């Protein structure tokens, strides 16, 4: 398990945006992972995806690392942001835009607005 923690820390610190998810960004394997990956993809955010189904140690390890019980988990600049519900709320409120802007993460503001319009 210690190896998983080291690997997770390395992944979240070496990549600006990381999504620990079930499946991959091109082939999500659960609805919640699909929703968060879909938001990031639609907003044009470059992100690394980690398929927790591929490694049981990472699957449990990420829950221990963040002290958060569910997958997916989004990290921006090494900080845990949240799971599906939190990311959905942040997207709709515009907080996610702010978080990306403050951290120098490139995203498509028009796409973010389209998501909000579609969910208004």
How many beta carbons lie within 10 A of that of residue 25, not counting itself? 18
pLDDT digits (tens, 9 = 90+) for 92-120: 999 999 999 999 999 999 999 999 999 88
- Binding positions are 30
| Average of per-residue pLDDT across 6-23 | 98
**pLDDT tens digits, residue range 60-72?**
999 999 999 999 9
Give the single-character DSSP code of 28. B
Domains, the chain, with CATH or none: 2-118 (3.40.30.10)
Residues tagged in the binding site annotation for [2Fe-2S] cluster: 30
């Amino acid at each position: 398990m210690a190896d998983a923690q080291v690997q997770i820390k390395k992944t979240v610190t070496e990549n600006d945006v990381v999504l620990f998810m079930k499946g991959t960004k091109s082939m999500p394997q659960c609805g919640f992972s699909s929703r968060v990956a879909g938001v990031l993809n639609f907003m044009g955010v470059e992100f690394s995806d980690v398929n927790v189904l591929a490694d049981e140690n990472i699957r449990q390890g990420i829950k221990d690392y963040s002290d958060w019980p569910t997958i997916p988990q989004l990290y921006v600049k090494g900080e845990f942001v949240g799971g599906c519900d939190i990311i959905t709320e942040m997207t709709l409120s515009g907080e996610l835009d702010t978080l990306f802007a403050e951290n120098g993460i490139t995203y498509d503001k028009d796409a973010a607005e389209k998501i909000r319009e579609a969910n208004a």
